[in-house]
């Protein structure tokens, strides 16, 4: 799968850096670069890209304001030098947030996240292409300890959110994988049919649930609470699989 993308940044050096990163990433196709949100707005109505790398602090119209005008067809990855914008970025449903100076490793991690999102939300195509995409989404790449590692989705037990980090607990590893990302970003990259959000701080793999005790999911010595916000969805999941004497 190839993603059409544009870059929007009023700083020439930053614009050139992201352009160079896009050009050396095989699945990204650069279709435009713009020095302001106003300049980039014209392309959204005529030929909307799949992905936009968008600076936040810009004159005339900042990136947060501009992102609210972007249609559903275009996903946003924010790029900025100011960390305080991170929460605002996720409030407008951005896929990711890159803090300047941006390394290629960080950029690639965000780009892979976008690729996984589009693969999982794309419509069905011919059998061969669909088969290929399903095979590719059996794993994801996450950044940990300054490197990218590939994780097999089938081996994830549950994910635990801890402020700016997530802990990915695997069935074949004693210690969890720690990665700097939001729960929302990771949730968007995980197949919805396979993983279930049960709490603001927990995502579980449904097929790995072996025991439920007093509205808590039991993984060994760990008890994961099911919050009121997700209780109905979780109960529906249980009810569909419940055997009765009737």
Per-residue DSSP letters for 122-181?
SPP--HHHHHHHHHHTTEEEEEETTEEEEEEGGGEEEEEEETTEEEEEETT-SSPEEEES
Which has the closest alpha carbon to 230: 183, 190, 198?
Answer: 198
Average pLDDT over residues 79-90: 60
Q: Does residue 209 contact residue 198 with C-beta atoms inside 8 Å?
A: no
Is the bond preceding residue 25 a cis peptide, omega within 30 degrees? no
Predicted model pTM: 0.52
Q: What is the pLDDT confidence band of residue 34, given thresholds at 50, 70 and 90?
A: very high
**Average of per-residue pLDDT across 185-202:** 87
How many other C-beta atoms lie within 10 A of the C-beta of residue 200? 10
Q: Is the pLDDT of residue 154 over 90?
A: yes
Give the pLDDT of residue 245.
Answer: 57
Q: How confident is the model at residue 244, as a pLDDT?
A: 64
Of the listed ranges 86-100, 123-137, 158-172, the least confidently predicted one is 123-137
How high is the pLDDT of residue 84? 56
Region 80-85: what's the mean pLDDT?
A: 67
pLDDT at 137: 66
Say how many residues make up the chain: 246
Statement: residue 32 has pLDDT above 90:
yes
Residue 208 pLDDT class (50, 70, 90 cuts) = very high
What pLDDT does 27 receive?
92
What H or E segment, with its residue span, contains residue 187?
Answer: helix 183-189
What does the pLDDT read at residue 134? 43
For 100-126, b/e burial (b = at least 16 CB within 10 A) is: bebeeebbbbbbbbbbbbbbbeeeeee
Residue 41's pLDDT band, with cuts at 50, 70 and 90, is confident
When pLDDT is averaged across residues 154-161 and rounded to a whole number, the result is 95
pLDDT category at 133 given cuts 50, 70, 90 is very low
| pLDDT score for 146 | 66
CB 200 within 8 Å of CB 229 = yes
Q: Using 50, 70 and 90 to split pLDDT, how confident is the model at 52?
A: very high
SS3 214: coil
Residue 237's pLDDT is: 87
- Which residues does 36 contact at the CB level (< 8 Å), separation at least 6? 8, 10, 58, 59, 60, 61
Nearest to residue 172, comparing CAs of 186, 193, 187, 152? Answer: 152
Per-chain mean pLDDT for the chain: 83
Check residues 47 and 216 and name the one with the higher pLDDT: 216
């Amino acid at each position: 799968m190839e993603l059409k993308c544009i870059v929007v940044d009023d700083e020439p050096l930053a614009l050139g850096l992201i352009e160079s990163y896009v050009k050396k990433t095989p699945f990204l196709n650069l279709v435009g670069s713009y020095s302001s949100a106003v300049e980039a707005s014209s392309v959204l109505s005529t030929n909307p890209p799949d992905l936009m790398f968008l600076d936040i602090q810009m004159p005339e119209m900042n990136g947060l304001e501009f992102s609210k005008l972007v249609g559903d067809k275009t996903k946003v990855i924010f790029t900025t030098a100011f960390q305080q914008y991170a929460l605002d970025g996720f409030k407008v449903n951005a896929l990711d947030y890159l803090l300047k100076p941006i390394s290629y490793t960080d950029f690639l991690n965000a780009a892979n996240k976008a690729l996984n999102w589009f693969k999982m939300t794309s419509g069905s195509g011919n059998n061969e292409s669909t088969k290929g995409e399903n095979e590719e989404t059996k794993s994801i790449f996450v950044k940990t300890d300054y490197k990218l590692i590939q994780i097999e989705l089938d081996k994830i037990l549950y994910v635990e959110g801890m402020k700016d980090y997530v802990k990915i607990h695997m069935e074949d590893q004693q210690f969890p994988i720690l990665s700097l990302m939001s729960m929302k970003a990771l949730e968007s990259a995980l197949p919805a049919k396979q993983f279930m959000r049960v709490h603001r701080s927990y995502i579980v793999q449904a097929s790995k649930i072996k025991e439920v005790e007093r509205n808590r999911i039991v993984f060994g010595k760990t008890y994961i609470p099911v919050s009121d916000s997700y209780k109905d969805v979780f109960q529906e999941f249980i009810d569909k699989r419940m055997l009765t004497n009737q």
